[in-house]
Amino acid sequence: MTDIEKSTIGVIGLGYVGLPLAVAFGHAFPTIGFDTNEYRIAELRAGNDRTREVDADEIDAAALTFSDTIGDLAGCNVYVVTVPTPIDEHKRPDLGALKSASASAASVLSAGDVVVYESTVYPGATEEICVPILESESGLTFNRDFFVGYSPERINPGDREHRLATIIKVTSGSTPEAADFVDALYARIVPAGTHRASSIRVAEAAKVIENTQRDLNIALINELALLFDALDLDTQEVLEAAGTKWNFLPFQPGLVGGHCIGVDPYYLTYKAEEVGYNPEVILAGRRINDRMGAQIADRLVRMMAERNIKVVGSKILIMGLTFKEDCPDIRNTRVVDVIDACRGHGALVEVYDPWVDTDQAREEYNIELLDAPQDGHYDAIVVAVAHQPFRDLAPDQIRAYGRVPCVIFDVKGMLPPGTADARL
């Protein structure tokens, strides 16, 4: 391994995780950011980050260059892989991008180099999937010629408080010396500090259970919301009352999507089933959360029928498409489940989200976004995401989008109590 002072970093993958990381490394070491998307590279060279995670001046201040040619990283001696690890249509891990990134890193790997993975995986994936690719494609021998580390990403898109520099970084390495190196490397860019795990598998497991725990807690509240609806109880009132106890956890019901919470548990359940263990609780939580979009649509349609609003041919406005508020990220957004279910009931659905790139919505989900909603145009309105521009609207302004009568369903509890017709 190289002397840490002589490190040159190559970051492979410049999305929500990779770009902030590349910028941070660029303040401490010479750094090259690589992405296969030439348009992304052109934007970043111009100082434009479509994810809105990094400002142009932050990019300019870093010793950072960008490239879509992997050969440009040949002079690096530390490679950090930050590509997406989604699930496929069968809810199984899709490691295609991770394998491709490993092959790319291997093509420029030299003796003494270190490859660090940040992508979320199941325990064992780094050494079982990635290392063999690095060896076969480079011709080098693992833990003799090159070394591997794992330091799971903890990026929270759209969160301006919890950033890379303020979140303790878990680190690990394939040998004690590699673990020391990786830990010292991240200590240079994470003032909050590091936590060195005893092995790569421990670090992988720690990451995947962080979001599994959150997923299960939200699933419990979602199930309670469904139960309280059947009991004609307001879920928010119940949660407020229960929240007066000091150790009651403040989870909220809602749609569970995005690149982490709605995905990571499936990585863990995949590995569990591979070793013969049936992860009953984890999968039960996933089933509850995955059906919430349809549950919201069904409840909306029921309320429309109760008010003599003909559902077939009705016009429904969906406010928000991203998986969370004040963020342009539409990866694995479960708002699409609400849209699909409403369309399945015969409604005409229009979607408005000022945070989302219209071309991306069209490409990812075949959704044409509105420039702005029309007043007096809709039979039902679903406030699916609590973006600040929506929070800035008075309840009467949102109500004005609807006809008379109109059903407003406030998924996020954004509106003052009593101003929406339904909420989770």
Active-site residue numbers? Answer: 260
| 114-117 vs 78-81, strand pairing mode | parallel
Beta bridge partners of 33: 11, 66
Query: What is the C-alpha separation between 138 and 145, in angstroms, rounded?
Result: 10
Which SS3 state, helix, strand or coil, does residue 342 take? helix
Quickly list DSSP for 1-66: ---GGG--EEEE--STTHHHHHHHHHTTS-EEEE-S-HHHHHHHHTT--TTSSS-HHHHHTSSEEE
CB 116 within 8 A of CB 149: yes
- At which residue do the structure tokens 């930050």 appear? 82
Query: What is the C-alpha separation between 305 and 315, in angstroms, rounded?
Result: 14
Range list of β-strands (E), 281-424: 315-319, 348-352, 378-383, 402-410, 422-423
CB 254 within 8 A of CB 411: yes
Cα dist. 109→31, 105, 147, 160, 312 in Å?
16, 6, 10, 35, 59
Query: What is the C-alpha separation between 58 and 213, in angstroms, rounded?
Result: 34
Q: Which residues of 134-169 are buried (b: 16+ CB within 10 A; e: fewer)?
A: bbeebebebeebbbbbbbbbbbbbbeeeebbeebeb
Q: Look up residue 202 and give its amino acid.
A: V
- At which residue do the structure tokens 């979607």 appear? 351
| 402-410 vs 378-383, strand pairing mode | parallel
